[in-house]
Amino acid sequence: MLLELNISNFALIDSLKLEFYGGLNILTGETGAGKSIIIDALSLILGQRANRENIRFGKDKSIVEALFQIPPRNKSKIENLLNKNGIEIENDSTIILTREILSTGKSICRINGRLVTLNLIKKLSEMLIDIHGQHQHQSLLHWETHIDLLDSYGQKKLMQELRNVKLYYQQYKSCKKILNDLIKDEKEFEREKDLLKFELNEINEGNLNNIEEDKELEQRRHLLIHSEKLFQNTKKAYELLYSGKEIQKSIYDQLSEALNCIENICSIDSSMKEILKQLQTASVQIEDAAFEIREYGENIEFHQEELDQIEKRLNTIHQLKRKYGENIEEILKYKELLQSKLLKLENRKQEIEELKKKIEINWNLYKKSALNLSNMRKEIASLLEKKIEKELKELGMKKVQFKIDIQTSEKYLSEKGIDKIEFMLSTNPGQPLRSLAKIASGGELARIMLALKSIFAAVDQVDTLIFDEIDTGISGKTAQIVAEKMAFLSKDYQIICITHLPQIASMADAHYFIQKEVSQDQTTTNVYNLDQNGRVKELARMLGGASITELTLNHSQEMLEIAKKIKNQFLKGL
C-alpha cells in the first residue's frame, strides 16, 4: 500500500507531501490544476523514463519519494527480490523508493536509501502498484500475465493438474539437461576416451609393480658403472690385509710375527697376556675380513648387456614419471583413476539410453497433463468471458465483446503447460478482437481494468491501483455503476483515482483537492486533504461548475449520504 508520496521541484509542484490511506483515495480539481502531475510523478517513481523538462523552472533537480507498506499478498516475492539484491527491509515492512532527476538528464534510483538500477525499481514496482489510464505501468497489458490470471481464477479446479504439469516438466527438463551434457560434444567424448586408453596402455606397458624398482635399479646401475674400480680396490685391500707380496708382507703376516714376539714376552712376564688376547682377536678378525673381501671381489662382474637393460628400464620409468607422477606409487594411483574414468565413459552409452527412456516417459506424462490442463482452461475461460463481458456492459460498454484466446502448441512449452493465453477485446460492433495493449482509449482501458480487477480481486498480487481517465465518455447511470464498482473494489485494494465525476468522488474514503495557485509571479500546484465540509463544496463545484448554489450544496450532501449507505452495505456483504 502507498502510504506517503513526497514530490519536490517537479513541474508545477514546489514541495508536496501526500499521505494516502487504505480504501478509495479520490483526487479532484479543475482542468489544468495539475492532477496529471501527481500521476506523472508516481509513474516516475515506478520506473518511467525520466524527462529533465519535468524539473521545476529554476531548479537543478527533481525528487520523488514514495513510502510503501509491503502487501501481505505479495510479501514473499518482494522480500526475495530485495534480499537477492542486498537490500534490508524495515521492521515495519515498509520500503522507500526514491528517484532523482538531474538537470543533466541523469537519473538516480534508490530503495531504502541504497543506490539501485532502474530495472530493479521497475521489477519491484510491478509488485506494488498498477496505473491504469495512460497505458503506463499496466501489468494486465502484458499477455504473459494472462495465463496466471486465468489459472488463479480457476485455481480450485486446476490446482492438481498444474502441479502435475510442473512436476513432469521439471523432471523432463532435468533429464534433458543431463542428456545434453552427456552428448553435447560426441567428438570431445571420443577424444577423452582415446586419451584415457592411450595413457592407460602406456602405463600398462611399463609393467610397474614394485614401487621401489627405480631405486633398486639406480643402485645396481651405480655398482655396474664402478665395477672395475670396486674390483681393483678389493684386490688391493685383500693383498694389504692378507696375501701380501714378496717385497711387502701383509698386515696379517706382520701381526702374526708380532704375536710370536708377545707370546715370548708372556712366557717371561704374564702381565702382557691381555694384550696377547687382543692381538689374537684382531688377527682372527683381519683374517675373516680378508676372506670376505676376497669373496666380494670374486663376485664382482661387469656385463654391458645388463647395464644397457637397466638404462633402458630406467628411461622407461623416467618417461612415465615425467607424465603421470613423481614416483611409481603416484603413477599406479593415476592408473586406478584412469581405469575409473574409462569405466564411467564405457557405461555412458547405457546411461544415455536410460535417460532417453526417462525423457520419453516424463514427456508423455507432461503432454497428457498439459493437454488435459488446456481443455480445463478452455472450460474456465468460457465462464470467465461471460463474467467479464457482463462487468464491462454494466460499466457502459454495451457492445463489448471479450474473448480469451488460447493457443495450444508445443512451441509454448513451459512449466505452465503448452498454452499461450491472451485476453482479446472488441469495443464496437464490426471491429475485430484485439489485444488489450492495442486499445487506444484511456477511459475504455481503465474501465476494462476495473472490470478485470473486480473479478480477479481475490487472486491479484498487486495491492494498489491507480485509475486515471476512468470517467472519460461516461455519465449518468454508468457513472454511478463505475463509482459503486470502485467502492466495492476498494475493500480489497487501495485505490487512487483521478476523476471529474461527482458520483465517483462521493465514494471516497479520502478526498484530495488539487489546485493551481499563483503567488509572487510563481505558479504552483498544491493538494489539500478535504474534510467533510470541504467535500460537500467540492462535489457542489463538480455538479454545478463555477456557480455553487444552495441546491447544489444540498445535492452534494445527499450524494455523500447515499454513498455512505452504499459503502456500508458493501461492508456488511449485502
Residue ranges making up the domain that contains 39: 1-128+462-531+558-574
Q: Where are the alpha helices (DSSP H) in 15-74?
A: 35-45
- pLDDT tens-digit series, residues 492-542: 889 999 998 999 999 999 999 998 888 777 788 888 999 999 999 999 998
Position 415 in a domain: no
Closest CA to 331 of 198, 204, 221, 191: 204
Provide the terminal-to-terminal Cα distance of the chain, rounded to the nearest Å.
26
Amino acid 108: pLDDT: 92
Q: What is the largest CA-CA distance in the chain?
A: 167
In a domain, 71, yes or no: yes
Number of residues that make up the chain:
574
C-alpha cell at 130: 498498477
Top-confidence range, 123-127, 179-183, 328-332, 479-483: 328-332
Strand partners for 129: 464
C-alpha cell at 370: 498439459
| Of 264-278, 506-520, 560-574, minimum mean pLDDT range | 560-574
C-beta separation of 539 from 29 below 8 A: no
* Residue 111 shares a structural domain with residue 229: no
264 in any annotated domain: yes
Residue 570 belongs to a domain:
yes
d(CA 244, CA 240): 6
Residues 388, 454: Cα–Cα separation, whole Å: 9
What is the mean pLDDT of the segment spanning 111-125? Answer: 90
- Which grid cell sits at 482? 463505475
Question: Cβ distance 223 to 234 under 8 Å?
Answer: no
Whether 328 shows a pLDDT value over 50: the answer reads: yes
Last residue of a domain, one of 289, 304, 326: 326
Instruction: Give the cell for residue 231.
Output: 674390483
Predicted local confidence at residue 573, as pLDDT: 64
Instruction: Retrieve residue 541's grid coordinates.
Output: 463545484
Q: Tell whether 566 is covered by a domain.
A: yes
Burial of 327 (0-12, 13-18, 19+ CB in 10 A): middle
User: Bridge partners of 13?
Assistant: 10
pLDDT for the residue numbered 332: 92
- Residue 136 per-residue DSSP state: -
Would the pLDDT of 148 be above 80?
Answer: yes
- 1 lies in the same domain as 111: yes
Give the C-alpha distances (Å, rounded to integers) separating 502 from 27, 97, 484, 556: 11, 32, 12, 8
Summary mean pLDDT of the chain: 86
Q: Is the pLDDT of residue 460 over 80?
A: no
The pLDDT value recorded for residue 134 is: 47
The answer as to whether 417 is a domain residue is no
Query: What is the pLDDT averaged over residues 343-347?
Result: 80
The dihedral built from the CA positions of residue 183, 187, 188 and 192, taken in this order, carries a sign that is positive
Residue 494 domain flag: yes
The domain spanning residue 96 has which CATH number? 3.40.50.300
In a 13 Å sphere around the CA of 407, the CA atoms on its Cβ side amount to 11
The residue out of 273, 302, 326 marking a domain boundary is 326
The strand pairing partners of 100, in sequence order, are 63, 108
Q: Give the residue-averaged pLDDT of 284-295.
A: 90
Residue pair 8/63 in contact by the 8 Å Cβ criterion: yes
Report helix, strand and coil shares of the chain as percent, to nearest 5.
60, 15, 25
Query: Domain total for the chain?
Result: 2
pLDDT tens per residue, range 292-306: 988 888 887 777 887
pLDDT tens sequence across 308-322: 888 888 898 899 999
Q: What is the mean pLDDT of residues 368-384?
A: 95
* Domain final position from 326, 341, 358: 326
User: What whole-number distance in Å separates Cα of residue 478 and Cα of residue 444?
Assistant: 13
* Residue of 332 and 456 predicted with greater confidence: 332
**pLDDT tens-place string over residues 470-480:** 777 777 888 88
Is residue 520 included in any domain, yes or no? yes
Helix 304-324 / helix 213-225 crossing angle, nearest 10 deg: 140
Task: Quote the CA–CA distance of 215 and 224 in Å, as a whole number.
Answer: 15
Element of type H or E holding 563:
helix 550-572
DSSP 417: B
Query: Which of 247-251, 268-272, 280-284, 544-548 is the least confident region?
Result: 544-548
Q: What pLDDT is attached to residue 247?
A: 64
Which residue is it, cell 508423455? 364
Q: Are 112 and 218 part of one and the same domain?
A: no
For residues 227 and 221, what is the distance between their CA atoms, to the nearest angstrom?
Answer: 10
Q: Is the pLDDT of residue 394 over 60?
A: yes
Q: What is the mean pLDDT of residues 376-389?
A: 94
